Structure 1
Amino acid sequence: MKAIHPFARVALASLCAAALALPAAAQVKPGTAPGSNPIIRDKFTADPAPLVVGDTLYLYVGHDEAQRDEMFNMREWLVYSTKDMKTWTDHGAIMNVKDFKWAKADAWASQAIEKNGKFYFYAAVEHDGTHPGKAIAVAVADKPTGPFKDARGSALVTNEMTPKGTHSWEDIDPTVFTDDDGTTWLAWGNRQCYIARLKPNMIEIDGPIREITPPHFEEGPWLHKRGKLYYLTYASLDRKTQRDEHVSYSTATSLDGPWTYRGLLTGSGKYSFTIHPGIVQFKDNWYLFLHNATLAVGDMNGAIGRRAVTVEHLQYNPDGTMKPVVQTEAGVSAPPPRR
Structure 2
Amino acid sequence: MAVPKVVKGTDVGQTDTHSAKLPGDYDEATFGNALIPDMVADPSISDINGTFYCYATTDGWGRGLATSGPPVVWTSKDFLNWSFKGWSFPSDFDLKYWAPSSIVYRNGRYFSFPTLDGKITAVVADSPLGPFLAPNGQHVTKATVHPFPLKQDSAIDAEVFINNDGQAYMVWSRRREAKLKPDLLSLAGPTVTIPTKRQGYSEGPYLTKRGGIYYYFYTLGGGETYRYAYMMSRTSPMGPWEAPKHDIIARSDPAANILGPGHGCFFHPQGSKQWYFVYLEFGRGGTTRQIYAVKMNFNADGSIEPIKLTKNGVGAIRTNTETSANLALDCNATASSTRPNYRVRLEKYPRLNRVETYTPSNAVDGFNGTRWMAAASDKSPWFEVDLGSPRLIRRTEAYFVKPAAGQAYRLDWSLDGKQWHIYGEHDNAVICSPHRDEKSVRTRYLKLTILKGDPGLWEFRVYGVPARTY
Q: TM-score range by the shorter chain?
A: 0.7 to 0.9
Match for residue 185 of structure 1 among 169, 191, 196:
169
Match for residue 68 of structure 2 among 71, 74, 84:
74
Distance 1:27 1:74, change over 3 A: farther
For 1:19 and 1:150, the matched residues in 2 are separated by: 36
Deviations 1:199-257 (A, max 9, x none): 111112112111115223511001110011011112123x9xx9611111111121221
Offset at 1:50?
0.6
Q: Equivalent residues in 2 for 1:57-72 (5 A)?
A: 57-67=52-62, 70=64
Asked if 2 retains the 8 angstrom alpha-carbon contact of 1:60 and 1:110, the reply is: yes
- What SS does the aligned partner of 1:149 have? coil
Residue 244 of structure 1 pairs with residue 225 of structure 2:
yes
Counterpart for residue 323 of structure 1: 305
For 2:243 and 2:95, the matched residues in 1 are separated by: 34
- What SS does the aligned partner of 2:72 have? strand
The alignment of Structure 1 onto Structure 2 pairs a total of residues equal to: 290
- Residues 147-156 or 18-27, more deviating: 18-27
Residue 155 of structure 1 pairs with residue 147 of structure 2:
yes
Letter in 1 for 2:276: Y
Asked if 2 retains the 8 angstrom alpha-carbon contact of 1:135 and 1:157, the reply is: no
Offset at 1:286?
1.4
Offset at 1:70?
4.0
Residue 275 of structure 1 pairs with residue 262 of structure 2:
yes
Q: Equivalent residues in 2 for 1:160-239 (5 A)?
A: 161=151, 168=153, 170-189=154-173, 192-214=174-196, 215-216=198-199, 218-237=202-221
**Bigger Rg, which one:** 2
| TM-score (structure 1 length as normaliser) | 0.75
Distance 1:63 1:256, change over 3 A: same
Deviations 1:66-105 (A, max 9, x none): 33x6455314322112222221122442137964xxxx74
Asked if 1 retains the 8 angstrom alpha-carbon contact of 2:265 and 2:279, the reply is: yes
Asked if 1 retains the 8 angstrom alpha-carbon contact of 2:176 and 2:194, the reply is: yes
Distance 1:92 1:275, change over 3 A: farther
- What SS does the aligned partner of 1:110 have? coil
For 1:324 and 1:61, the matched residues in 2 are separated by: 25
Unmatched tracts of structure 1, length 5 or more? 127-133, 163-167, 295-301
For 2:131 and 2:105, the matched residues in 1 are separated by: 14
Deviations 1:251-296 (A, max 9, x none): 11212212122311111385655711201110402111111144xx
Letter in 1 for 2:57: G
Letter in 2 for 1:59: C
For 2:158 and 2:26, the matched residues in 1 are separated by: 31
Counterpart for residue 298 of structure 1: none
- What SS does the aligned partner of 1:250 have? strand
Distance 1:18 1:109, change over 3 A: closer
Letter in 1 for 2:275: W
Deviations 1:40-65 (A, max 9, x none): 12x31000001111211111111013
Counterpart for residue 129 of structure 1: none
Match for residue 112 of structure 2 among 102, 121, 127:
121
Identity %: 23
Residue 108 of structure 1 pairs with residue 101 of structure 2:
no
Q: Equivalent residues in 2 for 1:30-45 (5 A)?
A: 37-41=33-37, 43-45=38-40
Asked if 2 retains the 8 angstrom alpha-carbon contact of 1:123 and 1:174, the reply is: yes
Letter in 1 for 2:134: D
Asked if 1 retains the 8 angstrom alpha-carbon contact of 2:90 and 2:132, the reply is: no
Residue 83 of structure 1 pairs with residue 77 of structure 2:
yes
Residue 139 of structure 1 pairs with residue 123 of structure 2:
yes
For 1:274 and 1:286, the matched residues in 2 are separated by: 17
Residue 260 of structure 1 pairs with residue 242 of structure 2:
yes
Deviations 1:126-172 (A, max 9, x none): 3xxxxxxx3210111111111110125511145xx26xxxxx5x200
Unmatched tracts of structure 2, length 5 or more? 137-144, 318-470
